[in-house]
């Protein structure tokens, strides 16, 4: 991943961070990325997580994203404050040592209570839109462990399920494509077969990097997922996080 430069001083945001800090030491910050906020600035401009990097560190170089999350996916996002930490984190992701746990609210009910999806994924173009598809030319290995945490009905009476997903590989849209292959697309994910478009009900619940010392963080569900969980009668365990209510003090 190519390190990016911070925005010019005139463009750097001030004031409170728009996200919660879940974990922080002198190597890393783990942020609770809100849904809808991209990690990188897009071609058309607009806010991104990187805009707030100058508030996280006073170092001349960095910070750097250690990995990526889709724009519409909420939850744990690891930011490296030092180049050595970046290399170590990327090594964990590349080798499969990083533990990445996701939560998804999906349409319907998968067959069984748990399982593993191993379908290789490759990118295809369909009607001017790309998506990841199983077993196409150039597909790369992908492996997702899943288990059902809850089942219920949405406000319209349609069956929904709460899944925990452990991504053992890191393919683009892996969680979304593999849930679709289970016959239970993620709620709001019309690209992968959900009946209606809307807020994507997918979050990066937890991240563990087996470094010395290890990095561990866990994020609470975003509001739109929490509302559906409450309506379905599911109990979500509380998460203790550092609430950032004022400007973040940069780490020296």
Active site residues: 70
Question: What is the rounded CA–CA span in Å between residue 194 and residue 187?
Answer: 6
β-partners of residue 28 are: 80
Could you tell me which of 54, 105, 99, 101 has the C-alpha nearest to residue 75?
101
Question: What is the rounded CA–CA span in Å between residue 104 and residue 227?
Answer: 13
Evaluate whether 66 touches 90 at the Cβ level (below 8 Å): yes
3-state DSSP of 88-141:
HHHHHHHHCCCEEEEEEEEECCCCCCEEEECCCEEEEEECCEEEEEECCCCCEC
Is it true that the peptide bond before 63 is cis, omega within 30 degrees of 0?
yes
Could you tell me which of 52, 59, 65 has the C-alpha nearest to residue 17?
52
End-to-end CA distance of the chain: 24
């Amino acid at each position: 991943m190519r390190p990016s430069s911070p925005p010019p001083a005139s463009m750097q945001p001030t004031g409170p961070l728009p996200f919660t800090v879940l974990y922080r030491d002198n190597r890393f910050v783990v942020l609770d990325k809100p849904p809808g906020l991209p990690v990188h600035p897009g071609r058309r401009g607009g806010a991104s997580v990187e805009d707030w990097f100058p508030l996280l560190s006073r170092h001349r170089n960095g910070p750097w994203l250690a990995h990526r999350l889709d724009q519409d996916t909420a939850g744990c996002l690891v930011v490296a404050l030092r180049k050595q930490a970046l290399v170590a984190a990327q090594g964990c992701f590349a080798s499969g040592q990083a533990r990445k746990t996701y939560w998804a609210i999906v349409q319907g009910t998968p067959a069984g209570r748990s399982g593993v999806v191993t379908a290789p994924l490759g990118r295809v173009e369909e009607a001017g839109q790309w998506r990841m598809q199983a077993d196409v030319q150039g597909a790369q290995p992908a492996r997702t462990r899943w288990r059902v945490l809850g089942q219920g009905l949405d406000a319209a009476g349609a069956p929904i399920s709460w899944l925990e997903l452990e991504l053992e590989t890191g393919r683009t849209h892996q969680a979304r494509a593999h849930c679709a292959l289970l016959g239970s697309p993620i709620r709001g994910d019309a690209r992968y077969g959900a009946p209606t478009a809307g807020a994507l009900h997918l979050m990066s619940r937890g991240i563990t990097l087996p470094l010395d010392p290890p990095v561990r963080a866990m994020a609470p569900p975003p509001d739109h997922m929490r509302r559906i969980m409450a309506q379905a009668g599911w109990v979500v365990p509380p998460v203790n996080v550092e609430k950032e209510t004022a400007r973040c003090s940069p780490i020296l």
